[in-house]
C-alpha cells in the first residue's frame, strides 16, 4: 500500500482544521494513453500514463487519479495493466475510475494496486453498489465521481450527468451527494462539466453548494488554468484540487501551484 489512502477529514482553509490540501493530477486514459480535451471532446495525446504518473509523483503530487475513458472490456483490461505497472513504481495514493460497473471491478482494481476506486454511472443505476463496496472494502476506498452541470430542471440548479456530461441522469446533484454519503461513499470527486477543460477557473459556486450538504472530503475538478485558480477552490470548500490540462501540457507545475497556494495561506504538503 502506497502512502495513506485515507483523505483528510475536513476542509482546511480558511478557518477550518489545518490539514494539508492535496494537489492531484488527473490522467484520462484511453487505450493505454493519457489524453485530454475540452468537455471530453477534441482529445489530444498527452503521453504514457505510467511515465506521467512517475513524473508527477517525483514532482510533489499528493495523489493521482486515473480515469479510464474507454470503459470497454478491452479498455478495462488495459487499465488494470496500467494500474499494476504504476503501482510498482509510484508510492502515493492512486484512485482509479471509469467503467466501474460492479463490485468485481472494485476488487480487480484494488488487487492491481489502486488505493481507491471511483464510480459514477453504475452507482446512479444501482446506488446500493456504494453500500456494498463500502461494506466489503471500507468507505475510504469508495469515491463517488459526480459530473455535474447547471440545470434549471433541478431544485439546486445543478444536475448529475453521464456520458462525459452529454446525458442528464435526471438527478439533483446535491440530493445525490447527500444520498451517496448516507450509503457509504468516503469521498466526492466533483467535476464541473461547465468548466471542464476550459482553463477559466474552478466552478466556485458549485463547490460551495456541494460543500454545504456534505461532510465528506471533496475533490474539486474542472477548469484549472493557472496557479492562482487553486486557492479560491479551497476557500470555496475543497479539500483537494485536481487538474489535468495545465499539468499535462506544462501550463504550470505542481510546485508552482503549491507555492501559490501556500502564499495565499493554504496549507500544502
Q: How far is CA 164 from CA 5, 112, 154, in A?
A: 26, 25, 19
257: number of CA atoms within 13 Å, CB side?
Answer: 33
- 28 is known as an active-site residue: yes
Report d(CA 68, CA 58) in Å as an integer.
Answer: 23
Query: pLDDT (tens digit, 9 = 90+) per residue, 209-263?
Result: 999 999 999 999 999 999 999 999 999 999 999 998 889 888 899 999 999 999 9
- Set 147, 172, 194, 203: catalytic member: 147
Predicted confidence band of residue 47 (pLDDT cuts 50, 70, 90): confident
Query: pLDDT (tens digit, 9 = 90+) per residue, 156-191?
Result: 999 999 987 889 999 999 999 999 999 999 999 999
Q: What is the pTM of this model?
A: 0.90
Does residue 10 have a pLDDT over 60?
A: no
Does residue 194 have a pLDDT over 80?
A: yes
Q: What is the 3-state secondary structure (H, E, C) of the chain?
A: CCCCCCCCCCCCCCCCCCCCEEEEEEEEEECCEEEEEECCEEEEEEECHHHHHHHHHHCCCCCEEEEECCCCHHHHHHHHHHHHHHHHHCCCCEEEECCCCCHHHHHHHHHHCCCEEEECHHHHHCCHHHHHHHHHHCHHHEEEEEEEEECCCCCCCEEEEECCCCEEEEEEHHHHHHHHHHHCCCEEEEEECCCCCCCCCCCHHHHHHHHCCCCCCEEEECCCCCHHHHHHHHHHCCCEEEECHHHHCCCCCHHHHHHHHHHCCCCEC
Per-residue cell: 181: 454519503
- Structure confidence at residue 259 (pLDDT): 98
Predicted confidence band of residue 44 (pLDDT cuts 50, 70, 90): low
Tell me what the pLDDT averaged over the chain comes to.
89
- 153 is known as an active-site residue: no
Predicted confidence band of residue 45 (pLDDT cuts 50, 70, 90): low
- Identify whether the C-beta of residue 47 lies closer than 8 Å to the C-beta of residue 34: yes
Amino acid at each position: 500500500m502506497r502512502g495513506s489512502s485515507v483523505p483528510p477529514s475536513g476542509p482546511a482553509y480558511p478557518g477550518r482544521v489545518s490539514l494539508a490540501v492535496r494537489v492531484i493530477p488527473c490522467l484520462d486514459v484511453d487505450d493505454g494513453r493519457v489524453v485530454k480535451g475540452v468537455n471530453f471532446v477534441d482529445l489530444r495525446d498527452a503521453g504514457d500514463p505510467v511515465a506521467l504518473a512517475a513524473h508527477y509523483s517525483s514532482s510533489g503530487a499528493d495523489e493521482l487519479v486515473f480515469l479510464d475513458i474507454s470503459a470497454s472490456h478491452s479498455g478495462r483490461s488495459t487499465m488494470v495493466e496500467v494500474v499494476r505497472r504504476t503501482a510498482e513504481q509510484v508510492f502515493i495514493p492512486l484512485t482509479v475510475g471509469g467503467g466501474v460497473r460492479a463490485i468485481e471491478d472494485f476488487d480487480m482494481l484494488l488487487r492491481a494496486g489502486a488505493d481507491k476506486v471511483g464510480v459514477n454511472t453504475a452507482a446512479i443505476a444501482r446506488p446500493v453498489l456504494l453500500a456494498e463496496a463500502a461494506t466489503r472494502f471500507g468507505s475510504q476506498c469508495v469515491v463517488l465521481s459526480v459530473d455535474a452541470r447547471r440545470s434549471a430542471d433541478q431544485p439546486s440548479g445543478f444536475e448529475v450527468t453521464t456520458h462525459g456530461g452529454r446525458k442528464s441522469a435526471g438527478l439533483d446533484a446535491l440530493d445525490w451527494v447527500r444520498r451517496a454519503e448516507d450509503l457509504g461513499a468516503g469521498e466526492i470527486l466533483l467535476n464541473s462539466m461547465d468548466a471542464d477543460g476550459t482553463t477559466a477557473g474552478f466552478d466556485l459556486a458549485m463547490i460551495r453548494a456541494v460543500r454545504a450538504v456534505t461532510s465528506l472530503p471533496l475533490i474539486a475538478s474542472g477548469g484549472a488554468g493557472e496557479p492562482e485558480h487553486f486557492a479560491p477552490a479551497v476557500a470555496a470548500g475543497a479539500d483537494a484540487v485536481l487538474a489535468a490540462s495545465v499539468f499535462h501540457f506544462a501550463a504550470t507545475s505542481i510546485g508552482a501551484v503549491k507555492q501559490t497556494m501556500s502564499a495565499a495561506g493554504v496549507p500544502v504538503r
